[in-house]
Amino acid sequence: MDLYGWLQLALFLGLLLLVTRPMGVYLYRVLDPQGKTFLDPLLKPVERLFYRLMRVDPRSEQDWKRYAVSLLLFSLVGTVFTYAILRLQHLLPLNPQRLGPVSEPLAFNTAVSFVTNTNWQNYGGESTMSYLSQMVALVLHNFTSAASGIAVAAALVRGIARHTAGTVGNFLVDLVRVTLYLLLPVCLVYAVFLVSQQETPQTEQILLNAIRNDPDPEVQEQAVFWLSQVGSERAVSALDSILQTSKNEAIQEKAIFALSQMDNPRASAIIRSYAQRAGAPLHLREQAIFWLGQEGGSQNEAFLRALYKQLKEQDLKEKVIFSISQMEGPETQRWLMNLALDPSEPIETRKQALFWAGQSGVSITELAAFYARTKDTEMKEQVIFVYSQRDEKAAFDQLLEIAKREPNLELRKKAIFWLSQSDDPRAAQFLEDLIQQ
- Listed range (68-77, 325-334, 376-385) with the worst mean pLDDT: 325-334
Residue 198 confidence (pLDDT): 54
Least confident among 81-95, 117-131, 230-244: 117-131
Label residue 95 exposed, middle or buried (CB < 10 Å: 0-12, 13-18, 19+).
middle
pLDDT of amino acid 233: 85
Evaluate if residue 195 carries a pLDDT over 50: no
Contact between residue 37 and residue 29 where contact means Cβ atoms under 8 Å apart? yes
Residue 337: name the closest of 310, 368, 315 by CA.
368
pLDDT tens digits along 55-108? 999 989 999 999 999 999 999 999 999 999 999 999 999 888 888 899 999 999
Ramachandran category for residue 415: left, alpha or beta (phi over 0 → left; psi -120 to 50 → alpha): alpha
Q: Report the candidate in 59, 83, 56 with the shortest Cα–Cα distance to residue 70.
A: 56
- For residue 104, which amino acid is it? E
* Across 329-337, average pLDDT: 89
For residue 228, the tally of other CB atoms under 10 A from its CB is: 18
Q: Name the band, by pLDDT with cuts 50, 70 and 90, for residue 42.
A: confident
* Cβ-based burial of 6 (10 A; exposed 0-12, middle 13-18, buried ≥19): exposed
pLDDT at site 232: 80
Least confident segment among 205-219, 250-264, 343-357: 205-219
Sign of the CA dihedral running 21, 26, 32, 37: positive
Q: How many residues does the chain have?
A: 437
pLDDT at 200: 63
pLDDT value of position 197: 55
Residue extents of the structural domains in the chain: 31-196, 200-314, 358-437
At residue 1, the pLDDT reads: 64
Residue 192 has pLDDT above 70, yes or no: no
Give the start-end residues of each E strand in 280-405. Answer: none
pLDDT bracket for residue 212 (50, 70, 90): confident
pLDDT, tens digit (0-9, with 9 covering 90-100), for 270-290? 999 999 998 899 999 999 999
Cβ-based neighbour number of residue 307 at 10 Å: 20
Sign of the CA dihedral 272, 273, 278, 280? negative
Q: Identify the three-state secondary structure at position 391.
A: coil
- More confident position, 435 or 414: 414
Is the separation of the CB atoms in 258 and 224 below 8 Å? yes
Mean pLDDT along residues 3-32: 89
pTM to 2 decimal places:
0.55
Compute the Cα dihedral for 108, 112, 115, 121 and give only its sign. Answer: negative
Residue 181: pLDDT band with limits 50, 70, 90:
very high
Write the secondary structure of 159-216 as one string of H (helix), E (strand) and C (coil): HHHCCCCCCCCCHHHHHHHHHHHHHHHHHHHHHHHHHHCCCCHHHHHHHHHHHHHCCC
Asked if the model's pLDDT at residue 196 lies above 60, the reply is no
Fold designation for 200-314: Leucine-rich Repeat Variant (1.25.10)
Query: What residues contact 71, with CB distance under 8 A and at least 6 apart?
Result: 148, 151, 152, 171
Output the pLDDT for position 199.
Answer: 60
- Helix axis angle for 377-388 and 347-359, nearest 10°, is 20
Task: Decide if 83 contacts 108 (C-beta within 8 A).
Answer: yes
432 vs 315, which has greater pLDDT?
315
**Alpha-carbon distance values, 144 to 11, 71, 148, 325, 398 (Å):** 31, 11, 6, 39, 51
Contact 85, 137 (CB under 8 A): yes
